[in-house]
Amino acid sequence: MGIFKKIKKEVGMKKFFVIALALLLAVPAISYAGSATSRWDVTIGGFVKVELGYSDELRANQYWLPHRDSKAQKVAGDEYGNWFMDGVQTRFNFTIKGPDAWGMKTMAFIEGDFYGSGGPRYASRITQDNITKNVTYSTYNHQGAFRLRHAFIKLIDKNFEVTLAGNTTQVFGTLTGMGQALLTLVPWLDTGLSIGAGRVPQFNVEYFAMNRDLAMLFGVFLNNNQVGANEVTGDVNTWTMGGLSAHGRIQYSTAKLGKIGNDKLTFVVDGFYGNEKKAWKSGNTTALSTGTNTSTSWDDKTVKSWGAHGSFFIPILPEKGGNKAGSIGFSAYGYIAQNPGSIGPYVLGTAANSYYRNDGSQTAPTLYGWGPQLYVYLTNNVMLDLIYSDVKANLSGRYCNSKATATTVKRVSQYAAILAYDPNPALKFTLSWDHNYAEYAQMAAGQGKKGTSNVYRFAAFYFF
């Protein structure tokens, strides 16, 4: 009681009750302060990647397409090669498991890498002309910045999973097989290698049957990669104007015929459907480009966006007793898509996009892609992965002559080989070779219509 008398004497009865009430109100806030690890089960994961490579064309570690071949004009990118070293693909993630809700387990996942890059998102003033007062700004790439790859919440029941994702891997182009998973560790953006590399915000419900061997998913997504290049969150464009798209997947996977690591016999069929809403000034074909554009009236139309994809994995020679030596896995995929937007085969750029016809109407080319893959475990810790891929835009002669530009690509083909060695579960070393071929839709003055490149790469990973 002595302490209460002292408080009463120093601050008075009224102030005492005010302080006491403030402390009581602060208790909930204090209890939620501190680290999440004190309340939920948090696991830290990811990997550190260091790579050294050489390209026989001028390009960085992450690239889109081969440069055109030199003809009368000597294309610098075709004439010279370069070396590269970096660690920006290093990834970091958190898996959080918390209390149940409505009888379902709950979890969240956050992952990012250091590929944060783009144009002059940030600039610093360099000079100011004393006469015109014009300011010159620097423009630079800011690779090394943290970039969000995945951010989703899951509610998990025995037969259901609900996924609420601000950003995660698209359903279209679902990967099968360890070899395909290995490809995601290599920053190749060529869609022939992996069309499942895109990430979009999405809400999904997935139902499992047959002891979870059979899975059926349905959901919606926004066909716009909001954070892919560290741009302002929530881009407003023809895709967000068009609204949500729907996607679905049916997958059957079983270990009854054996497995190789985590890989087992798998068949997948998936697809998507949605709209892109394009708008233009009434009376001409000037497209809406920003929210500040004005016109006496606007015309608009939706362009269909859809895709269908199938893939499978077969353990031709399964592992024996947990030893993968001598095991062989084979997978393949094929797809067709129209106007996929930021998901799927976006590497073809303008060839994959919808466009305005001369009469003001809109249309979009159809895209085709396929690719087989074979991987062989030479020992329990050494795997050779062999890949071929091909993706083609079905461009009409009229499109090539009137709409295509010198950078529009009709077709990309690719051969790749990866030799991977895992001395322990934490370490992985890879040697890879990638041969890339591109065919352009338009001629460029004095340059070839095709291009080829080769990239050789050594990479070291440490998983944690």
Per-residue pLDDT reduced to its tens digit, 81-139:
999 888 888 999 999 999 999 999 999 999 998 877 544 333 333 444 444 444 444 44
Q: Do 120 and 184 reside in the same domain of the chain? A: yes
Confidence of residue 195 (pLDDT cuts 50, 70, 90): very low
- Integer Cα distance of 192 and 332 in angstroms: 11
**200-204, 211-215, 240-244, 289-293: which has the minimum mean pLDDT?**
289-293
Instruction: Tell me the two tokens of residue 367.
Output: 């895209």
Q: Do 285 and 213 reside in the same domain of the chain? A: yes
Please give the C-alpha separations between residue 113 and each of 63, 91, 228, in angstroms, as whole numbers. Answer: 17, 4, 11
Higher pLDDT, 134 or 464: 464
Q: How many domains does the chain have?
A: 2
Higher pLDDT, 205 or 67: 205
Q: Look over the chain and give the mean of its residue pLDDT values, rounded to a whole number.
A: 80
Q: Is the predicted pLDDT of residue 6 greater than 60, yes or no?
A: no
Please give the C-alpha separations between residue 454 and each of 291, 385, 396, in angstroms, as whole numbers. Answer: 43, 17, 30
Confidence of residue 426 (pLDDT cuts 50, 70, 90): very high
Q: Do 109 and 4 reside in the same domain of the chain? A: no
Q: Do 203 and 352 reside in the same domain of the chain? A: yes
Q: Do 29 and 138 reside in the same domain of the chain? A: no
Q: Do 215 and 277 reside in the same domain of the chain? A: yes
Q: Which among 69-78, 117-126, 362-371, 401-410 has the top mean pLDDT?
A: 69-78
Q: Do 242 and 320 reside in the same domain of the chain? A: yes
Amino acid at 238: T
Domain range enclosing 88: 34-463
Mean pLDDT of 32-51: 77
pTM, whole model, 2 decimals?
0.82
Q: Do 321 and 210 reside in the same domain of the chain? A: yes
- Which tens digits make up the pLDDT trace of 323-344? 999 999 999 989 899 988 877 6
pLDDT score at 194: 44
Q: What CATH code is carried by the domain that includes residue 345? A: 2.40.160.10
Q: Is the predicted pLDDT of residue 71 greater than 70, yes or no?
A: yes
Q: Do 252 and 322 reside in the same domain of the chain? A: yes
Q: Is the predicted pLDDT of residue 28 greater than 70, yes or no?
A: no
pLDDT score at 253: 96
pLDDT score at 225: 58
- Integer Cα distance of 278 and 116 in angstroms: 29
Q: Do 223 and 356 reside in the same domain of the chain? A: yes
pLDDT score at 173: 84
pLDDT score at 199: 82
pLDDT score at 353: 76
Instruction: Please check whether residue 177 is in contact with residue 329, taking contact to mean a CB–CB distance below 8 angstroms.
Output: yes
Q: Do 40 and 137 reside in the same domain of the chain? A: yes
Q: Do 176 and 260 reside in the same domain of the chain? A: yes
Higher pLDDT, 358 or 307: 307
